[in-house]
């Protein structure tokens, strides 16, 4: 059986406010989402609202 493979991901390390970390922890426990998924969705929404271009099929910024 082949291992389940999702989209390519890479590590992202950052520091956040303690209050943000606690809210994130509460949300992930309450709703069963992973931190990775919450952060990815939040960043995607932030980028969309701020006009950041998408990435093309080659992984490059499509301007």
Q: Given a cut of 90, is residue 2 above it in pLDDT?
A: no
| Structural tokens at position 12 | 């992202």
Q: Given a cut of 70, is residue 1 above it in pLDDT?
A: no
SS3 44: helix
In order, the DSSP letters of 8-35 are ----------HHHHHHHHHHHHHH---H
pTM of the model: 0.80
Mean pLDDT across the chain: 93
Q: Given a cut of 90, is residue 51 above it in pLDDT?
A: yes
Is residue 54 within 8 Å of residue 48, measured between CB atoms? no
Model confidence over 4-25: pLDDT tens digits?
778 888 999 999 999 999 999 9
**Residue 42: which of 61, 60, 18, 23 has the closest Cα?**
23
Percent residues over pLDDT 90 in the chain: 78
The number of CA neighbours under 13 Å toward the Cβ of 6 is: 4
């Amino acid at each position: 059986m082949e291992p389940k493979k999702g989209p390519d991901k890479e590590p992202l390390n950052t520091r956040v406010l303690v209050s943000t970390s606690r809210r994130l922890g509460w949300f992930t426990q309450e709703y069963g989402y992973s931190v990775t998924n919450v952060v990815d969705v939040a960043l995607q929404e932030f980028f969309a609202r701020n006009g950041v271009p998408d990435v093309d099929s080659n992984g490059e910024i499509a301007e």
